[in-house]
Amino acid sequence: MSSRKIAYEILMDIEINKNYSNISLNDRLSKVKLDDRDKGLITELVYGVIEKKRYIDYIINKVSKIKVRKMENSVKTAIRLAVYQIIFLDRVADYASINESVNIIKKIDKRASGFVNAVLRNLVRQKDEICKIGDKTVEDIAIKYSYEKWIVDRLIGEHGISRTKDILDALSKKPKLYVRINRTKMDGFDSFGEFAEFIVDQLEKEGIKSERSNLLEEAIKVENFKNIENNRLFKMGYISIQDISSMLVSKVLNPKEDRKVLDLCAAPGGKTTHIAELMNNTGEVVSQDIYDHKIKMIKWYANRLGLSNVRVKKGDALNIFEEYKGKFDYVLSDVPCSGMGIVRRKPEIKYKSEEEVENLPDIQLRILKNAAEYVKNGGILIYSTCTIFKEENMGVIYRFLSENKNFSLDSIDGLNLESSTLSNGYINIYPDEFDMDGFFICRLKKN
C-alpha cells in the first residue's frame, strides 16, 4: 500500500471518528512495515493536511463548483491530500499528487474520480493566483493560518494584530524535540554535567544530533531521533521525551528531597516523573488521574525510569479528597485547558469551537481551589496550563487569590529565563518569545 493511501486512511479516521491525529497516526504506523522515509512522508501529509485544513478548504472552494461542506468525506479527504502536496510540497510533482488521489477515490467511488481530477487540475492551472490571501482582516488571518475565527479574534484582543501574527507564525513552525536526562541514573559519574555529556555522546554515536540546553541542565535538544521507544537509552530509563516548557513546570515547583508532593492531574506522567527525579527518588510523589488507561501509562513511565517514590492513584480532581487535606508540601495543579500553546503538536486544537472552551476557566478554578486544600501551611501550590489565553491563566489566578487570602504569589527563583514576571510568581511562555510550546506557570505559597 502506498504512503499516500495510508495517509488518506488516517485522515479519514480523524475526519469520521474524530480521533486525535497523534493517536491515529501512531496506531496505524505501528501496524505497517515501512522504512523511516515512508513513515516521515505519511506523518508530514497527515499533520500538514490538518494544520492547513481551513486554508486548504478555502482554496478548494475557489476552484470547485461543489463546496467542501457538501462533499462526501471520502471525496474531500482525497482532494485535501492532493491540495496540500500541490501547494506545500515542492518536491512532489503535481501530476503525481493528482493521480494518486484520483486512484484512491476511484477504488471507493468511481463516479467521483472525474470530479476529483477536474478540481485538482483546475487548481494547478490557477494556483499562483488562487493561493494569494491577505492578512489585514481577522477573517483573512484565520484562513491564512487555518484557525477558527474566534481564536484569532481573542488573540488580537489580547495582543493586537501584529503580535498575534507573530504568535501564529511561531505556532506554525515544526516543534523542536527534547529529551530529559534522568538524574537518578548518574551513579558512577562525578557530576551531573559529566553524566549529561555522556548521554550526549551516546546519542551522537547513534546518529542522533544532540545539543544541551542552556536553559535547563537536564534538557537535550535532539534531531533525527527515530524509533524512540526502541532506543537503548530510552529503554534503560536514562532519558524521557518532554518539551522544555513542560520541564519548566517541575523546575518552578523546585521540590526538596524527602518531601511529599501531589500531582493532581498527572497523565501522561512527564511532570510526575520529573518531580520524582528532582527529588532523587526520595520522599513521595502521589500521581493522580481519572482514567484507568492513563493510570497504567503513568505506572509504566515511572517503572521504566526506575522510580520507587511514585505512588499512582485514580481520582477525579474535581472531587475533594478528605485524606489529602493539609498533607502535602507541594501540590501541582496542571489543569485541563484549551491547549492553545501546543497547537504544533495537536493541530486539531485549531478547530475547537468557542463553546468547547467557554466553561474551562470555571473548571480550572474549581480544581485549583481543591488543590489548595491539600497544601500544608507554608507549602507551595503550582498552577499550570499549556494554553496562552489570559482568561485561563492569570484570569483564573486573580479569581483564586480574591477568594483565598491565605495564598500569595511566590517569587520564582533559579531559572535561566528572561521574564519580567518571575519575581511576581508567574511566567507566560509564548512560542514567539521563547521558541518552545506555549505554557503558563504560577507559583503560589500558602501563608
Of the candidates 287, 290, 306, 308, which has an alpha carbon nearest to the alpha carbon of residue 298? 287
> Beta 375-385 vs 219-223: how paired, if at all?
unpaired
Sign of CA pseudo-dihedral 151, 154, 158, 161: positive
- Residue of 68, 69, 61, 3 whose CA lies nearest to 32: 3
Contacts of 411 (CB under 8 A, 6+ apart): 422, 423, 424, 425, 443
SS3 430: coil
Give the closest residue to 203 by CA, choosing from 185, 221, 183, 176. Answer: 221
Q: Choose among 258, 180, 168: nearest CA to 217.
A: 180
Q: Which residues touch 95 (CB under 8 Å, ≥6 apart)?
A: none
For every residue of 350-362, DSSP letters joined together read: GG--HHHHTTHHH
Q: Cell numbers 501574527 label which residue?
A: 165
* 442 in catalytic set: no
How many angstroms separate the CA atoms of 254 and 413, rounded?
Answer: 9
Which amino acid does the sequence have at 309?
N
CA distance 206 to 201: 9
Q: Cα separation of 161 and 391, whole Å? A: 19
Using CA atoms, how far apart are residues 6 and 9, in angstroms rounded to an integer? 5
Calpha distance 373→364 (Å, rounded) = 15
Instruction: Determine the Cα–Cα distance for residues 121 and 57; give it in Å rounded to an integer.
Output: 16
Going edge to edge, which strands form the sheet with 239-241? 209-212, 219-223, 177-181, 239-241
Q: Are 405 and 411 in contact (CB under 8 A)?
A: no
Bridge-partner residues for 270, per DSSP?
A: none
Residue among 90, 83, 149, 92 at smallest CA distance from 116: 83
Which residue in the list 265, 337, 386, 442 is annotated as catalytic?
386
Active site residues: 386
